[in-house]
Structure 1
Amino acid sequence: MLTNSRGIAFILALAISALVTAFLSLIDSANSTILLVAGGLAFSASFLLVNITLEFLVFREIGNIYSLLEKIQKKDLSEISDKSSKSSISPLRRINKVINSYALARQKEIETLQKNAEFRREFIADISHELKTPIFATQGYIHTLLDGAIDDKHVRMKFLKRAAKSLDSLDVLVQDLLTLNQMESGVIKFTFTQFDLKDLIIEVIDQLEHKASKRDVEIIFEHEENTPYITSADRQKIYRVCQNLIFNAVKYNNNKGQVKVTLKASKSSIQVDIKDDGQGIPPEDLKRIFERFYRVEKSRNKKEGGTGLGLAIVKHILEGHKSKISVSSTVGKGSIFSFSLPLVKPVVIESKEAIQKS
């Protein structure tokens, strides 16, 4: 009976009613009817007040605390919600909120640990796969030579070249991993200089023109001829960003397709858009294409080559410039990769004659 609010309220109400009745019995004018009515009113009022107080300020809050502690014990934190804090006179409500906040913090910590563990598993699986391919290829060529093929000069040179090519791919992969790790840890510093972004993109296009011509892919560069696109950035790293994005636009484009690079200058920034008319990227892959080793249609991309780290490096380089890479894509129509850099307005130096005239 004493384990719930009604039982305790009943006993307290009886005690209060008895005290009131006893006090009134000391008055000479109080008869039995008055004592009975007063005792009944005292019991009813006391029962209601005590029951409501215990139910809402004590037992309900204790029940919530027990329920919360049971969920924490069972590690079932999925149903715990961050309720809006309301002022309450109950100290138990405040205790409940503290425990709830702790449980939510633990839930977020567990979710973060689970995501990190999943990322580590995927990363180890991906890097193992990426390293296995060139290593196994090189092993195959070398063991074939050791088994007697080395005596054939033609076979020897062909297999040595293939082994060297596999080792070169392995070296590129390791260098990209080191670069990405150094960027994430802040070891690589950025050297900011002022340069014309238009000239840099022209250099990249000239370098990739031969690869584009092999697939009959046309690269179009749209910009205003007499407009300087001066920016302040790390030229070498921005060169790598443009090289990677334009190369991908060529590589994943359709044969006889078109890559359009557009420069747009506003009051304070320069926007670079790189558009292709290839197969596009499915919506479920858009959020993950900047992750390490993530590939859309892995079998096709593996055939195309690359380390799978290019877009991850692009993302980190632009973040180091306080910029972001964005992408929009439609399956079957192509993709557009965009980023922006600050626009530096050229300083106009007046000639001596103009100064003298003024």
Structure 2
Amino acid sequence: MKLRTLVFLNAFAVGISIGIVNYYFQHNWYYFMYALGISTSVSYLVFYFLIEKYVYSKIKIIYKMIHSLKLGKDLKDALGEYVSPDPINDVEQEVKEWAREKKTEIDDLKKQEKFRREFLSNISHEFKTPLFAIEGYVEALQDGGMDDPELAKSFLAKVARNVDRLSVLIKDLNEISKLESGEIPINYQKFELTALIKEVMESLEFKAKKSKINFVFKDKYDQPTWVEADREKIRQVLVNLLSNSLKYGKENGFTSITIFELHDQFLVEITDNGIGIEEKYLPRLFERFFRTDTSRSRQIGGSGLGLAIVKHIIEAHDQTINVRSTEGLGSTFGFTLKRVKDIRINIPLINN
């Protein structure tokens, strides 16, 4: 409601009241109308002056400060700016919007604080486990373990494994930190996706045989599937996802790689028939250090950062990654890549 409307309604209410009192004593409609007109006019002028001077002007200043500070402007500059002709309603809307924004910010800060506490707790645990193991084996060697060559060799091998685990953890932490800060650039290039998939499968063939899991990549994907992305980072994505399928797959099971052709993208899906993941864990699966089965995950190994790194790499390409899973039946991880159409390759002619 605008100021003049508000003042007029109040003045008219006063005028009606005075007119009724006048009519009560005079019993004359002429005096009623006269009193109504005079008292309404005088009340309007008085109310307008008082509200404008002592209330409305203050609200204008409040509106200026709220509106301008929301835009991040300096207070001195804010007070000299033009104000809406109806700041009372605008102040109400601004304050409501501001309150909603602040509530959202507070909720986000609470989530970040919870995430920070969980992250510190997880990273502390991840470091303590191998460090305590190394400390225990070293103390055992110092307390006479070196006298038994076979025992000393076994302890040193376990120390080496835990040192390797620490190295992997530090390397992955450093990489995910650089990915989040944008320090690692995305080196786009055009390359053949099926060729890269076959390379990664060959590099993991020994590990697949050891896990008794068969890779499935159908012959129909021999046709070119050209994409534009960072080849080495996509290799890392494939290695992480395929390695995960081997870690959590079933003996004599399979891991299949499927490519779906979309309008301007390729969708790559990696499916296994392993232990699967409970539905309640799926939203948190790409969080750093999140493990669905803590004891088994630590026995298998890994830094707990693989899926988080995968997510950062795919999102750095402005693409998406998703997961579907059913406990006991298996999981499917899918990610998209930019498709390159009508690529031409110059093949040198060979004269016979």
What TM-score comes out, normalization by structure 1 length? 0.74
* Residue matched to 1:12: 14
The letter of the residue matching 2:96 is N
Shift in Å, 1:98: 2.1
Moved segments of 4+, more than 6 Å = 8-11
Shift in Å, 1:236: 1.2
Shift in Å, 1:217: 1.3
The letter of the residue matching 2:239 is Q
Q: Against the structure 1 CA distance between its residues 309 and 98, is the aligned structure 2 distance closer, same or farther, given a 3 Å change threshold?
A: same
* Residue matched to 1:140: 136
* Residue matched to 2:344: 347
Cα distance in 2, alignment partners of residues 164 and 309 from structure 1? 21
Q: Does 1:110 align with 2:106?
A: yes
Q: How many percent identity over aligned positions?
A: 38
* Residue matched to 2:333: 337
The letter of the residue matching 1:100 is K
* Residue matched to 1:76: none
Cα distance in 1, alignment partners of residues 171 and 218 from structure 2? 33
**Cα deviation 1:49-100 (Å, max 9, x = unaligned):** x9xxxxxxxxxxxxxx9xxxxxxxxxxxxxxxxxxxxxx9974333222222
CA RMSD of aligned residues (A): 3.6
Kindly indicate whether the alpha-carbon contact (under 8 Å) linking 2:325 and 2:332 is maintained by their aligned counterparts in 1: yes
Match of 1:241 among 237, 240, 249: 237
Query: Which runs of structure 2 are paired with 1:173-322 in the superposition (5 Å)?
Result: 173-224=169-220, 226-322=222-318
The letter of the residue matching 2:27 is T
Cα distance in 1, alignment partners of residues 267 and 305 from structure 2? 23
Kindly indicate whether the alpha-carbon contact (under 8 Å) linking 1:253 and 1:279 is maintained by their aligned counterparts in 2: yes
**Cα deviation 1:100-137 (Å, max 9, x = unaligned):** 22222221221121111111100000000100111000
* Residue matched to 1:53: none
Match of 1:34 among 28, 45, 52: 28
Cα distance in 2, alignment partners of residues 299 and 331 from structure 1? 17
Cα distance in 1, alignment partners of residues 26 and 117 from structure 2? 83
- Describe the SS at the equivalent of 2:233: helix
Say which is worse superposed, 337-346 or 272-281, in terms of deviation: 337-346
- Describe the SS at the equivalent of 1:224: helix
Consecutive unaligned residues in structure 2, runs of 5 or more: 1-9, 45-58, 60-83
Kindly indicate whether the alpha-carbon contact (under 8 Å) linking 1:223 and 1:264 is maintained by their aligned counterparts in 2: no
What TM-score comes out, normalization by structure 2 length? 0.76
Kindly indicate whether the alpha-carbon contact (under 8 Å) linking 2:323 and 2:333 is maintained by their aligned counterparts in 1: yes
Consecutive unaligned residues in structure 1, runs of 5 or more: 1-7, 23-30, 51-64, 66-87, 353-358
Q: Against the structure 1 CA distance between its residues 343 and 105, is the aligned structure 2 distance closer, same or farther, given a 3 Å change threshold?
A: closer
> Number of aligned pairs?
303
